[in-house]
Amino acid sequence: MGRYVRSARDAWRAFAPATWLGWQIDSNWTDLFTFSIYTLIKPMAGALIVVVMYLVGTRTSTRTDFFAQMYTGNAFYTYLGAIIYGMSWVIHEDREHYEMIKYVYIGTVHLYWYLLGRAVAKFLVATLSVVILLAAGKLFLGLQLTPATVDWAYFLGAFLLGIAAATGLGLALAGAMMITARQAEMASEVVSGAFYLVCGFLFPIDVLPRWGQAIARWIPFTYWNEAIKRGLFGHGSNKALAAMSNGDVMTWLLVSTAVCAVLSFLAFFGAESLAKRRGLLDQLTSY
Amino acid sequence: MNLTATGTETKTGRPDRAKSAATFREGLRNNYKAAWGRAYVRVIGVNRELSWVLLDIFLPLFSIAAYVYLYRSMGAPRAYDGFVILGALMTAYWLNVLWSMAAQFYWEREIGHLELYMLAPISPMAILFGMSFGGIFQTTVRAAVTVTMGSLIFGVRFQVADWAGVVGVFLLTLVSLYGLGMAAASLYLVYGRNAWNLSNLFQEPVYLLSGVNFPVKALGFWVAAASCLIPLTLGMDALRQLSFGDPSIGFLPVRWEVLGLTVIGLLTLVGAWAALKWLEDLAKRQGRLTLKWQ
């Protein structure tokens, strides 16, 4: 028992400072005001692009269900970009830019806890953006989202599962980064870009070709997106998933997240082992 | 006894003009070699790094597909698919300007190349010209593949009546964009990690203001007018009008936009030269030219 307590304490000793360090690295390049503006402008501009596209494409008001689904989907996608891309970038940044990954690695706690801590910092910055986006949508764009009617338990359960899946995937890509120069960064961008396309964040997966819909059904983030929207609005956005009950969607999300997590851990530890055998842990590629 | 600028003794006491001309020619040759040398890496890199090639070609296809499907799910006219394709083409150049021009000196400093550029008997402008040429070549090859694939996949038809106009506006837009990139590269000399964040910041907001995926006039007169300070806005708007044969989707007449692009192009090139001189001096005095990990 004492051994487990000591392990947990050690893990916390890596996790907590990593979270703090991640926050510092992501935010300490400027003062709080500039950081807030920066954190606000980037996602807001991204959201406004789809808002203007919506207005140009439909020539209707933003007080529609389609708009609400599109806007919130786009907002929650922020988490995927931040966590999946951010976690793999940590390896590259700490290895080649700050040249300190070797010191983390030779510490008493596994690198895994350090990466999780850094993911929390990415999660916090993304949360700030998403909250601002939803608030701005509600206040200025007539977003049809009523907190009183939200199924909070369902929403939070789905939300946490999706974040777990994103973290697992980020971990797998961090592993890939350990054995490559910088190519895993591209893999992260491709993976998150593919999710943006096929998981229905912007539009229902019904408009995708059949093979696209088939791919979407294998990805946890399709169910994450659907479950979040069901939690927030009482119904989802995809006709292709309309026959599934809320419980079915949650079950699929749970199962696919579990599979994703197991595969991600295997990929991460496999890549880490390979990196150690080949002496790549502290490689400097200048790439 | 008199000495020339190069320290050569002359019999007449007047500057040795032949020697000066030779020095000038040598300087030109050195700068040409430096520019070509810097461009060569990018030109030859087009087919050397498969991962970059795949990323540059296929990643934009994801966003093209996402935005095309978004328009289709709304029931928007099919011509809007073409706006997205055209937007993806110009976005590729904007990204290249941000990350491979503006932020490039930051990377060069991190890996130790910047000090070599400063030590060499060349103007840093030659390096910037080389980076621009290489960047344009590299981006053109990849963007052409992306746009061709995107157009074929989504069945986009362009209705170009004036190819010369399209090519002219396109080249003028590139001059303005890369002029801006050269000017920004100098600014980035004095920044550390801010360069990263600045480049990040100039992505989505510029896509929004430039109307990359929609006619810029949808932003309203004043916002669209202010956006015309960004060369991408003028270039995109003119190209959209010329490529789809529909002046009604434009914010300004094409000839005004050509004039605007010409003025911005000239200003940014001169501005790049002045900013480089000033900020290089500032960076030297502040000891930032070789400062890493900040």
B22-33 mean pLDDT = 90
A73 close to A225: Cβ distance less than 8 angstroms: yes
B47-62 mean pLDDT = 77
Angstroms from B174 CA to nearest CA on chain A: 23
Counting Cα atoms < 13 Å in the Cβ hemisphere of B267 gives 9
Question: Has residue A108 got a pLDDT over 60?
Answer: yes
C-alpha span between B89 and B79 (Å, rounded): 16
Please indicate whether, in this complex, the C-beta atoms of B203 and A183 are within 8 angstroms of each other. Answer: no
Please indicate whether, in this complex, the C-beta atoms of A98 and B65 are within 8 angstroms of each other. Answer: no
Across chain B, the runs of DSSP E, i.e. the strands, are: 2-3, 9-10
Size of interface A-B (CB pairs under 8 A): 100
Output the pLDDT for position B45. Answer: 79
Please indicate whether, in this complex, the C-beta atoms of A196 and B62 are within 8 angstroms of each other. Answer: yes
**Amino acid code (one letter) for B86:** L
β-bridge mates for residue B10, sequence order: B2
B4-21 mean pLDDT = 60
Lowest mean pLDDT among B39-53, B65-79, B242-256: B39-53
Question: Has residue B6 got a pLDDT over 60?
Answer: no
C-alpha span between A123 and A86 (Å, rounded): 9
Lowest mean pLDDT among A125-134, B7-16, B38-47, B202-211: B7-16
C-alpha span between A41 and A110 (Å, rounded): 36
Angstroms from B87 CA to nearest CA on chain A: 12
Angstroms from A265 CA to nearest CA on chain B: 24
Counting Cα atoms < 13 Å in the Cβ hemisphere of A189 gives 17
Nearest to B214 among A53, A194, A203 (CB): A53
Numbered residues of chain A with Cβ closer than 8 Å to any chain B Cβ: 29-30, 38, 41-43, 45-46, 48-50, 52-58, 66, 70, 97-98, 183, 186, 189-190, 193-194, 196-197, 202-204, 207-208, 286
B61-69 mean pLDDT = 92
Angstroms from A126 CA to nearest CA on chain B: 15
Residue B216 buriedness (CB in 10 A; 0-12 / 13-18 / 19+): buried
Question: Has residue A262 got a pLDDT over 90?
Answer: yes
Output the pLDDT for position B9. Answer: 47
Please indicate whether, in this complex, the C-beta atoms of A53 and B67 are within 8 angstroms of each other. Answer: yes
Nearest to B59 among A52, A66, A193 (CB): A193
Please indicate whether, in this complex, the C-beta atoms of A203 and B194 are within 8 angstroms of each other. Answer: no
Question: Has residue A18 got a pLDDT over 60?
Answer: yes
Please indicate whether, in this complex, the C-beta atoms of B111 and A50 are within 8 angstroms of each other. Answer: no
Question: Has residue B13 got a pLDDT over 60?
Answer: no
A209-233 mean pLDDT = 95
Question: Has residue B92 got a pLDDT over 60?
Answer: yes
B235-248 mean pLDDT = 91
Nearest to B70 among A38, A183, A202 (CB): A202
DSSP B1: -
C-alpha span between A244 and A235 (Å, rounded): 11
Most confident of B100-109, B201-210, B272-281: B201-210
B263-287 mean pLDDT = 85
Angstroms from B70 CA to nearest CA on chain A: 6
Best mutation target, A27, A37, A49, A208, to test chain B (most B CBs within 10 A): A49
Best mutation target, A30, A48, A53, to test chain B (most B CBs within 10 A): A53
Of all residues in chain B, what percent are helix, strand and coil, respectively (each to 5)? 75, 0, 20
The answer for residues whose C-beta is within 8 angstroms of residue B190's C-beta and 6 or more apart is B279, B282, B283, B286, B288
Q: Higher pLDDT residue, B194 or A230?
A: A230
A205 close to A212: Cβ distance less than 8 angstroms: yes
Output the pLDDT for position A184. Answer: 65
Nearest to B208 among A45, A70, A189 (CB): A45
- Read off the pTM: 0.86
Output the pLDDT for position B2. Answer: 45
Q: Higher pLDDT residue, A284 or A80?
A: A80
A142-171 mean pLDDT = 94
Please indicate whether, in this complex, the C-beta atoms of A193 and B63 are within 8 angstroms of each other. Answer: yes
Question: Has residue B191 got a pLDDT over 70?
Answer: no
Lowest mean pLDDT among A114-118, B5-9, B11-15: B5-9
Question: Has residue B180 got a pLDDT over 80?
Answer: yes
Output the pLDDT for position A50. Answer: 94
**Amino acid code (one letter) for A151:** D
Angstroms from A3 CA to nearest CA on chain B: 39
B126-152 mean pLDDT = 91
Most confident of A91-95, A121-125, A158-162, B122-126: A158-162
The pair of three-digit structure tokens given for residue B248, joined into one six-digit string: 């009604």
